[in-house]
Structure 1
């Protein structure tokens, strides 16, 4: 298994899968990465199977470099927050970024 760990705490993040009300958590990984680039490179190198965001590997899936397994199991989606300093009027550039990011995430995170 190829997993993630926190660079700040060293904590390993478990892989969580759900199917028909059942949850399976896999806490052990044989190799670990602390960023998505390293994680994907480990997967592409054949070091094992792992769980990551679809948007991170979509191009590799489309090219046939990676394949999905356990397709009928789902993973928990991480929340996304956009934070900016309070003001009476939202900067137009910030508004454009928020709108674009929202559309991008909706289009690229569905299963």
Structure 2
């Protein structure tokens, strides 16, 4: 069972993503902010990270800077309401960039592709 670390400050989004991911057979660990996610990563290794960009305190971009200094090779999918860097996720050192919407198909496809799992 693949483990997703979901980093998201909005409670309703955390609930929705957790429900959808678990229905698909993923184990879900959630962090309410980037600081909590970094603490989790010090002793754990999820298979993939789903990361919001805009969060109070340390945002997703600063998280990515600190995360990459850890030299951990975990794929990162940015899931945000802001399409600023959508054209080039590598500008943020992410593996995929998905703009949040009611249709989670693109996000789920990105996760499956990065984990090397078929639909």
TM-score norm. by structure 1 comes to 0.40
More helix per residue: 2
TM-score norm. by structure 2 comes to 0.38
